[in-house]
A and B are shown apart, each in its own frame.
Chain A
Amino acid sequence: GQQVMQIPQYQHVQEGEDFTTYCNSSTTLSNIQWYKQRPGGHPVFLIQLVKSGEVKKQKRLTFQFGEAKKNSSLHITATQTTDVGTYFCAGHPGTYKYIFGTGTRLKVLA
């Protein structure tokens, strides 16, 4: 079946260090969304990427969609303690559903 994997599963960084999570789909995606979920909370929408090779920035966050539309990445520059949480990608394979990735749990040490 269709799968979306994320690496790494966990990442501990010192405050101020950079962080990257990678998302890989077994099938081509029509678009991909990124969400952040704080401990005990619900997923919160961050961004949507649609075009092959698309790059979008939100302050310290940079999102990329691969040329083949099967992979994506989220890069955070100079992490802060407020960045703590689990980051999920969610791929849309062209049918009426989103397939969420396995998530990357980020811990930031002050």
Chain B
Amino acid sequence: DAGVTQSPTHLIKTRGQHVTLRCSPISGHKSVSWYQQVLGQGPQFIFQYYEKEERGRGNFPDRFSARQFPNYSSELNVNALLLGDSALYLCASSSGDRQPQHFGDGTRLSIL
């Protein structure tokens, strides 16, 4: 079975642009969480979605938004990109809240 897949793997944007990152969870997993990981730090929670509804939101500005589709795949959108948004964005799927999380390889976003 395929693991969590994320696309694209790398992305270069300039300040002020917007970006859409995509995630396909493990088959059968209904929960998707998004994390931002800056080099040398632990992943920071951005959103959790379960059954297409937002269940949790981390301490990120409104420029960050997400959604989950009927097939449980998910998109993370970031508007008005800032230099500080440069990071590895990780998607994790699980069978539910408080269950083991399975991470994708991430999207490395660089802002110039």
Contact = CB atoms under 8 A, between A and B. Distances in A.
Contacts of B103: 42-44
> Which of under 10, 10 to 19, 20 to 34, or 35 or more describes the interface residues of A?
20 to 34
B58 A97 contact: yes
A19 B44 CA distance: 25
Interface in B64-112: 90, 92, 97-106
Contacts of B42: 88, 100-103
14 contacts: A33-B101, A41-B105, A42-B90, A42-B106, A43-B90, A43-B101, A43-B103, A44-B103, A48-B100, A88-B42, A97-B45, A97-B48, A97-B58, A100-B44
B96 to A, nearest CB: 10
A95 interface: yes
Interface of B: 33, 35, 41-45, 48, 50, 55-56, 58-59, 90, 92, 97-106
Interface in A68-100: 88, 90, 92, 95-100
B45 A102 contact: no
Contacts of A30: 98
A90 B37 CA distance: 14
A42 B56 contact: no
Contact of A96 (B35, B55, B100, B102): B55
